[in-house]
Structure 1
């Protein structure tokens, strides 16, 4: 098995890393200063400046794999960007994950990446010209309206938002929350998932439809906090839709195709989160190690206390194992398609956030009281990563898929028990396994 990176993989990873080191990391303090001045919900000037440099350098719109560019609706629209394979993008996304605002500089931040892929694969030419083009150009932002507060949204068949046909329009009524990105003043378009049919089969009741955010009846009721952080200027909102009317042409792919679209969108989106999470974990172990070698307690460096040696070692082991699983999932997606990679995607989606959270928690502990402050960014990073155990499906849903696949391997097997009930039930000499 050859783990050597190809020339192209190395080329783009190194270019992204070099750009971050030269243009983004040195301005990190500037970003945080601008983010905390004035209105919380605004466009950050430094991001817009760096975006122009990234685009001019050809470091733009990496996330769309070439093989997924085939449109289900219209083939005449050309996607603009440097389209990388999932494996190539994984290496770049890890670098982006090390600084929270880096992804947007390359126009590779959620939820726009997933929404652009949906528009490209399932939108009409009119949809693409009106919404995809400005998204590709980094001129506007978007939101994906799926989760609802009144139902267990881990099972998307529970969705209650109604999309009802009325002549040449659909009328939408419902309530959505955890609508990431809706606080950004550039958020102009929503892709909403709701029900056009409440009587059909469970997975054919849902549809996805385009809803311009300035449509009458769309109201952001409140912005939500995450462990006390508002995540401005991106943010997560609760959105109420009351008698919202949009043209029938805004439905994507047709009524009852919402689940199909969601599966096409969420697979790549899940692994994109995991790719960035590897980068977050790397910043966590770096911060932890620097703190441990620079502080003295009880007469020696904290790094020389055995408990911390064990924690650092475990962190490095876990990062390396998780990276390999992430790259395996990406490689499987490239070679066999998203469906064939479902199990790998589920495994990395469970593993990556839990791994990063453990490392960040240890890093907080290493920093003592400073770790829970905003001085080192660890508390914010932990709160952000904790959301990923829920985003794009909670751990339990993915673990269920993994477990069911494992049980399926042995569905026809049974344990032969000895006839003597008094004998040990699982004695190695008495118990055989047969099919």
Structure 2
């Protein structure tokens, strides 16, 4: 009896996910036979539209075969032997294994930048004022990471302000986040796993081979799941090189000498993907309150993780000062002319205007605006809060209960 005959005669719903993953990797001559098995067993007629098959499986939730994790480990180790460690021996999980999709590259096939070369601002002749950069200041150390470089590498391991940080840029979901690399005394060295969850990049750590969520900074598959480990996100701003350099003339910025051969021209990487609202990998659900790739400012305030908030970047661009709250935390978003957003705790104060490096509250008090805080002349300090940009579809896929301000 062939495997195909066995599956056809002893069909169980849990075979659907396994067959679909086989289709993705099978030679074209074999794909039609697998799809026919899938059609007969499931009764669905989606043909070769793989995203429709995935959506159906995620919606119906047929469950997974008892040997599914071993199947997944064996299937993908044929591409990269290192993939087996992610799924071997029925790992602990915080997400559905059948929603984890291969992204089309080997482990670290999108090579992270490891303590890359930096240039003083005055030597970065390759950057134009309108080029997009991700700016961070940590413990007095000011850095700019151009999108045109990060889109080719998606991760950077760097030492900023004397501390090891992991920076991760998920090109598919549009988010750039910096995390402190050390939690409870353990330094986590992260890399690109090669897999995705709901179109969101999954990282791995070298020590345990656990898979980590980019958006939450938590392990979601492997031995670290359930240990209460969560990377601390830092504040990062998406802005233009001209605006960042004006505010921080002493900034350092990535050199084009990365050790890799890429076309680092502005807008080159993922040009076709960014140009349309179409997705490269499907997600279980979409929300049409905004276009899929509309940019939002994503907030998860410590202590209020169950109250995620998304604010439309377009909405904020029309409101230089916007105030709101998450749980008990009141905050203010200051948006400059480049569209860059910075979020600060407001402590119940109402701000009415800002410009340059000064914000004014309703009582007329003036506050100095810095990357770390709003500071009044008497020393009162309102701390910056972690926030980052993301595509609406990617944030909603991770947080379907999110509140949206648009």
Q: So what's the TM-score if we normalise by structure 2?
A: 0.27
Structure richer in strand, relative to its length: 2
Structure richer in helix, relative to its length: 1
Q: So what's the TM-score if we normalise by structure 1?
A: 0.25
Q: Which has the higher contact order (CA 8 A, sep 6+)?
A: 2
The structure number with the bigger radius of gyration is: 1
